[in-house]
Structure formats: C-alpha cells, structure tokens
C-alpha cells in the first residue's frame, strides 16, 4: 500500500517504537523553536538537564510575544533568552524580527524535516511539507537535548482540495470552513494532510494560513506536499537548495477523506466564542465593529497585508473604528515599505505597528467593554485579546479590510478585485544572531525564579475539588495571556496568582489555603495553546490531578510532564468542595475515585507506559534525569 506524506516523514524519523495505528512512537526531531513566553521555562528546563549544548540540527529562540517589552521583566526575559541561546548553540531571533512561525517558514523550514516548537501554532511550517508539532516547553527541552518526541501514531485525514479560490475568498475561509465542518475537536489524534489539484493553486503563505489554524481543530499537525510552488518560494527566500519534492504515493490510503472544492468557498466569519462558531458573511454582514486587527501568525504574510493595502488605497478607515496592522515579520515589513503598502495603509488611517504577536494576545490594542474586534488571528475565546470583556471575531484579510472601510462586518466581494503581482522577497537576516557558545555568560534577572523540584508520586492522592468547570476550558481560561501575566512567565509563584482568574478570582486563595487539591473539568479540557504554564502554575499551587471527560493533546502532555495526572471520568458526579481520594499505586489497574467517603466512581486515563513512568517519577525532568543517572 502506498504511503501518505505523514507516514513517509514519520517513518524516516522513527527512533523508538513500531509504526502501527494506536502505537506510541518516539521520533527524531531535526529542528526546535521556542518563543519568549514559553521559552524562558523551556530553556530553564533544558539547563536543568545538565547538557553541554543543543543537539538538534537547528534550534531557534524567538522573541515575538512580548517583543514590545511593556514591562522591564520582559526585557530581562529577552536578554536571558539571547544569552542562553547563544551559550547552548541556538540562533536568536531578536524582538522586531517577527512572529516565530512566520520567520521560521521564511528562513528555516525544510521539506521532509521534523520541527518541535514550544507554541501550539508550530504546525504552520507544515506549509513546506514538514512534520511540525507544537508541544510544551519540557518536551521541547528534551528534544533540544537530543531526546525523542513521543506521540501516538496519528490517523491521517486526507483533505482533498479541488478547484481554485474566487476573489474575496481566501485561505482563511478554507480553514474556517473546515473548522465549521469538523469542529474544534475534529482533528484530535489526527494529521490533516492536504492533497488534490487544488493545492497547486495555493501559495506557501496561503498553505501556512491553513496549516496554522489546523491547530484549532485539535490536530497533531497539518501538512502540505512539497512541490514546484514550494520550490519557487524557497528560491525566493534564496534557499532553493533546501527544497526536495515530497508527495503522497498515488495509491496512498488516508484514514478518512474530507473533500473541499475551493470554487465553492465563500467568505466566512468565526463569531465570538470558539473558532468553529463560523458563519457565511451574508449571515453576519452589517454587525457593527469597533476595531480591526490585521496580522498574526495566521495572516501576517506579505501578500495578505499588501492585499489589505490595495483594498484600502484611496479609501479611508471608517472614523468610528480603528484599524491596526501588524506585519508577521521584518521581511514582510521591509517589503511593504518598499512597495508603498505602508504608505497606502497609513493614508487610509491604519496604524502600522512592529512585527510580533502583540494584539493577538492582548499586548496592546485590548478591546474595550462590550466592543467587538474583528481580527485575522486564529483564536476568539472569551478572555483572548487581553480582557475578559473582549469579544473577538475571526476572518480573512480581504473581509477584515472591507469591514474596516465600512465600520461593520462587510462582504469583500462587493469591492473590486486586487492583485498582488510578482513577489520579490527581501532577504536580510540582520536580527537573527548566530550562537557564540560557552564564552557567552547567561544573563538572569531576579524575575527568573528557580524551578520547583519534581518529587515521586505517592501511592494515594487526597484532597478537595477546588473548582468545577464545564466543557471546552481553554488554556487561556486556566492561565490568561495578556498584559497582566505576560512578563511573569519565568516566575511561577507570581503567575500562579492568575490561575482561573477570569473565571473564579477566589481560586488562588482557596488553593493556597487548602494546600492544593483537584480540578474537575468537562470535554476537551485545556484546548488551545501549548502554554505549559497552564500546567506548571497549577502544579505550583499543589494540584495533584485533573479529572475531565476528555483532554486536548498538548495540555494532556503538559500535565503529565509536570506530574499532574489527567484522569478521565464522568465528572458530572464530582462537585466543587468534594473530598476525593484515589489509590494511584497501580495506574494500570482498576481505578476508582472515592467521593466524600460515600461513593466510588470509575476512572480511566490515556497514559502510555512511558507517561505512567513519567508521572511516577514526578514529571518529565525527574524522569529524564533518572534515566540519564543524574
Ligand atoms: C497563543 O497563541 O495562545 C500563544 C500565546 O502563542 C501560546 C503560547 C503561549 O502561551 O506562550 C500558544 O499558542 O502555544
Ligand atoms: Fe503569536 Fe498569536 Fe500566533 Fe500565538 S497565535 S504565536 S500569540 S501571533
């Protein structure tokens, strides 16, 4: 039987286990990336492994989330990341150089290689035919140290694209349409592999938009073939020699197929709440908006922003709203300056800001009370964008630009078509610093708190349920990103004060008073970001286990890595304030949780044998040290 691209790349990187459905495998990682929000912990964890240098072919430490350094602590983090990367042999991407995913596919991604990144949108590099996976900092630290990354052999959902996109409909509308069809849980345990003759008509940046937001389906990753379009893109980036062809065999069998006709795609909007809350523009056109943000790792590419500039040329942003444009990278910004796009945008009344994540996680441009912000980003949960009052809708760039002109959600097809034309990339790696090795002294500020030691799991866990939650709790609910927390990412005792802060502001005090306890959630607990702090901060507060109906992949792994057990059970039986006890001496045996000494409820988990060994050791760092005799 022929092979899918996913199988080809994974098999070529198989380091441990058997490539069979449902089996856990360890894969060799070629490249790693970290960013400034997750990176400080990831690098501290790497250091704790006691290794001499990074062992992967490439590691890049990016500064993008807090690149505006609105607090001194963030600047401290940047200097720490710059010096530790240099010391251990990683490239450093300075603040202002752009969002990690955008810069990585422009300057480093290579077809057929594996990439592990401490950010959930790492799959963006699937646009080049890479297996690019988002993970928590500890997994990335271990991979940088030459360790395998473990995952269950994924199912491959073949997404067959046919036809061509019409004016006004974009790559973003393709992924919003997919999200609407398969939901925010539809990709769990799967790789979305794109094929069909429609792929040829999509540029690498368009593929990047689709692969990026595949993360919102819960998928392990998304991957595109590497074809002549990929070659042309890499030639433009002056690195054609990195190209190799990569496609699925003619007779490759997918576990399932989803057919999408690009001819039928129309402009879509994900209204506030969830990224799969998607409507055709006709159904929501006319909804008043207060702000438009164009940028982020989903739609921060050159062609996207140039299109916005051309749409806005000779027009003005509706005076009742504001338009913010953030190019995805310094390369993009330089090209937009050269071709006059920045001038067009500014003339139209837009604010063009520094390349980086910024508004996407609420670093600046936080929407006001009851405001609706239309954004080209990938997430629209409550609390996203820096305020619990923020309401965010998601769309492609054409729709966002058309709406900025009207001051309400508008259909871009009512405007004349704009064409981007030939693209000549500006290649200038000034803000990418090569490592200088051991002579570099690591700069640490007092904000960088030492890691708490992981201790072996006791035989019995006991305590109180500190909070009971519903379905779809995101990592933004567990630990909000934004102005109040972003500078505290390397200080667990401080950031722990914000656990569930938007949902229940008494949680922190309760957790401290009780000396820890349990969390009870519903379906898809921990969806969203790779933010390991959503596990580390509860660990800091003494949380011993989370009981939920199901877990999102990265958060599940992060809980295991910090030594918190993710138990699966019918949480309708559990309430806040219940006293639980559970014997965990044999995690492979029959497990039951005792509630208030009165009833027992059966409990399961999705822990592999390796996961069990990790939680028994107290977490991944303890486990890794144990195995290396450290
Ligand atoms: C996000 O988009 O939620 C983030 C901020 O990029 C996170 C990482 C983080 O919390 O630092 C992610 O997606 O993993
Ligand atoms: Fe940055 Fe937003 Fe992309 Fe996360 S989703 S990496 S915050 S631009």
Taking CA atoms only, the protein residue closest to ligand 1 atom 11 is 37
How far apart CA 357 and CA 377 sit, in angstroms, is 10
Fold of 268-414: Aconitase; domain 3 (3.30.499)
Query: Residue 309 has what pLDDT?
Result: 98
Q: CA torsion 109→111→116→121, rounded to 10°?
A: 70
Query: Residue 403 has what pLDDT?
Result: 98
Question: Do 43 and 72 meet the contact criterion of CB atoms below 8 Å apart?
Answer: no
Q: Does domain 460-625 have CATH number 3.20.19.10?
A: yes
Query: Residue 454 has what pLDDT?
Result: 87
Taking CA atoms only, the protein residue closest to ligand 1 atom 1 is 529
Average pLDDT (594-615) is 97
Query: Residue 449 has what pLDDT?
Result: 82
Q: Does domain 5-264 have CATH number 3.40.50.1110?
A: no
CB of 120 closer than 6 A to ligand 1?
yes
Q: Are the folds of 268-414 and 460-625 the same?
A: no
- 313 pLDDT exceeds 90? yes
Collect all residues with Cβ–Cβ distance below 8 Å to 574 and sequence separation of at least 6: 465, 468, 520, 547, 580, 593, 595, 601
Taking CA atoms only, the protein residue closest to ligand 1 atom 13 is 529
Query: Residue 630 has what pLDDT?
Result: 53
Query: Residue 623 has what pLDDT?
Result: 93
Query: Residue 294 has what pLDDT?
Result: 98
How far apart CA 615 and CA 485 sit, in angstroms, is 28
| Structural domain boundaries in the chain | 5-264, 268-414, 460-625
Average pLDDT (603-620) is 96
Taking CA atoms only, the protein residue closest to ligand 2 atom 3 is 297
pTM reported for the whole predicted model: 0.96
CB of 38 closer than 6 A to ligand 1?
yes
pLDDT, tens only, 236-257 = 999 999 999 999 999 999 999 9
* Consecutive H or E run containing 602: strand 599-605
Average pLDDT (522-537) is 95
pLDDT, tens only, 464-500 = 999 999 999 999 999 998 888 999 998 999 999 999 9
Q: CA torsion 617→623→627→629, rounded to 10°?
A: -80
Q: Which of 65, 139, 499, 555 to mutate to test the pocket of ligand 1 (most atoms within 8 A of CB)?
A: 65
pLDDT, tens only, 87-128 = 999 999 999 999 999 999 999 999 999 999 999 999 999 999
Q: Which of 66, 77, 117, 121 to mutate to test the pocket of ligand 1 (most atoms within 8 A of CB)?
A: 121
CB of 99 closer than 6 A to ligand 2?
yes
Query: Residue 450 has what pLDDT?
Result: 78
pLDDT, tens only, 407-436 = 999 999 999 999 999 999 999 999 999 999
Of the candidates 75, 74, 115, 122, the one whose C-alpha atom is nearest the C-alpha of residue 99 is 122
| Residue entry with tokens 């057919």 | 259
Question: Do 450 and 558 meet the contact criterion of CB atoms below 8 Å apart?
Answer: no
Average pLDDT (177-195) is 97
* Consecutive H or E run containing 540: helix 533-540
Confidence class for position 1, pLDDT limits 50, 70, 90:
confident
pLDDT, tens only, 443-456 = 999 888 877 788 99
Highest mean pLDDT among 333-337, 357-361, 363-367: 333-337
Query: Residue 629 has what pLDDT?
Result: 63
Per cent of the chain over pLDDT 70 is 100
Closest ligand 1 atom, residue 531 Cα: 10
């Amino acid at each position: 039987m022929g092979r899918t691209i996913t199988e080809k790349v994974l098999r070529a990187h198989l380091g441990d286990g058997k490539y069979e459905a449902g089996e856990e495998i360890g894969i060799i990682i070629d490249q790693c990336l970290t960013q400034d929000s997750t990176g400080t912990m990831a690098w501290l964890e790497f250091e704790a492994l006691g290794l001499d240098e990074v062992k992967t072919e490439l590691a890049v430490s990016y500064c993008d989330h807090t690149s505006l350094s609105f607090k001194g602590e963030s600047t401290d983090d940047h200097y720490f990341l710059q010096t530790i990367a240099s010391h251990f042999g990683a490239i450093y991407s300075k603040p202002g150089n752009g969002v990690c995913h955008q810069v990585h596919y422009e300057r480093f991604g290579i077809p057929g290689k594996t990439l592990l990144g401490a950010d959930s949108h790492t799959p963006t590099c699937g646009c080049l035919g890479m297996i690019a996976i988002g993970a928590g900092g500890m997994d990335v630290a271990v991979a940088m140290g030459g360790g395998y990354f473990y995952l269950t052999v994924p199912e491959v959902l073949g997404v067959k694209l046919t036809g061509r996109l019409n004016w006004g409909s974009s790559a973003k509308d393709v992924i919003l349409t997919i999200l609407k069809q398969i939901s925010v849980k539809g990709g769990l345990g799967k790789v979305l592999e794109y094929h069909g003759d429609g792929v040829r008509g999509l540029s690498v940046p368009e593929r990047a938009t689709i692969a990026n937001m595949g993360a919102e389906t819960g998928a392990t990753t998304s991957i595109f073939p590497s074809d002549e379009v990929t070659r042309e893109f890499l030639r433009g980036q002056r690195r054609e020699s990195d190209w190799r062809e990569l496609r699925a065999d003619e007779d490759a069998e997918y576990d399932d197929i989803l057919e999408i006709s690009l001819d039928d795609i129309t402009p879509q909007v994900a209204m506030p709440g969830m990224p799969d809350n998607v409507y055709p523009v006709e159904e929501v056109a006319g909804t008043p908006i207060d702000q438009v943000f164009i940028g982020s790792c989903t739609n921060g590419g050159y062609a996207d922003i140039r299109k916005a500039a051309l749409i806005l040329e000779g027009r003005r942003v509706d005076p009742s709203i504001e338009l913010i444009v953030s190019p995805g990278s310094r390369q993009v910004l330089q090209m937009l300056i050269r071709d006059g796009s920045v001038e067009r945008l500014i003339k139209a009344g837009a604010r063009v800001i520094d390349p980086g994540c910024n508004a996407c996680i609420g670093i600046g441009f936080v929407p006001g009370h009851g405001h609706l912000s239309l954004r080209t980003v990938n997430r629209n949960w409550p609390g996203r964008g820096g305020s619990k009052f923020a309401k965010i809708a998601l769309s492609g760039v054409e729709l966002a630009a058309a709406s900025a002109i009207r001051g309400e959600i508008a259909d871009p097809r009512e405007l004349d078509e704009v064409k981007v034309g030939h693209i000549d990339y500006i290649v200038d790696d000034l803000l990418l610093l090569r490592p200088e090795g051991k002579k570099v002294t690591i700069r640490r500020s007092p904000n960088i708190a030492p890691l708490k030691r992981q201790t072996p799991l006791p035989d019995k866990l006991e305590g109180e349920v500190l909070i009971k939650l519903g379905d779809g709790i995101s990592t933004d609910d567990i630990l909000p990103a934004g102005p109040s927390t972003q500078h505290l990412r390397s200080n667990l005792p401080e950031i722990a004060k914000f656990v569930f802060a938007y949902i229940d502001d008494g949680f922190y005090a309760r957790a401290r008073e009780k000396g820890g306890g349990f969390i009870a959630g519903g379906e898809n607990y921990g969806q969203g970001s790779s933010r390991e702090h959503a596990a580390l901060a509860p660990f800091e507060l003494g949380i011993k286990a989370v009981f939920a109906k199901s877990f999102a992949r990265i958060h599940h792994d992060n809980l295991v890595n910090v030594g918190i057990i993710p138990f699966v059970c019918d949480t309708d039986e559990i309430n806040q304030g219940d006293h639980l006890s559970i014997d965990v001496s044999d995690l492979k045996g029959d497990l039951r949780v005792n509630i208030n000494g009165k009833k027992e409820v059966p409990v399961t988990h999705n822990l592999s044998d390796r996961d069990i060994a990790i939680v028994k050791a107290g977490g991944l760092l303890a486990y890794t040290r144990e195995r290396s005799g450290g």
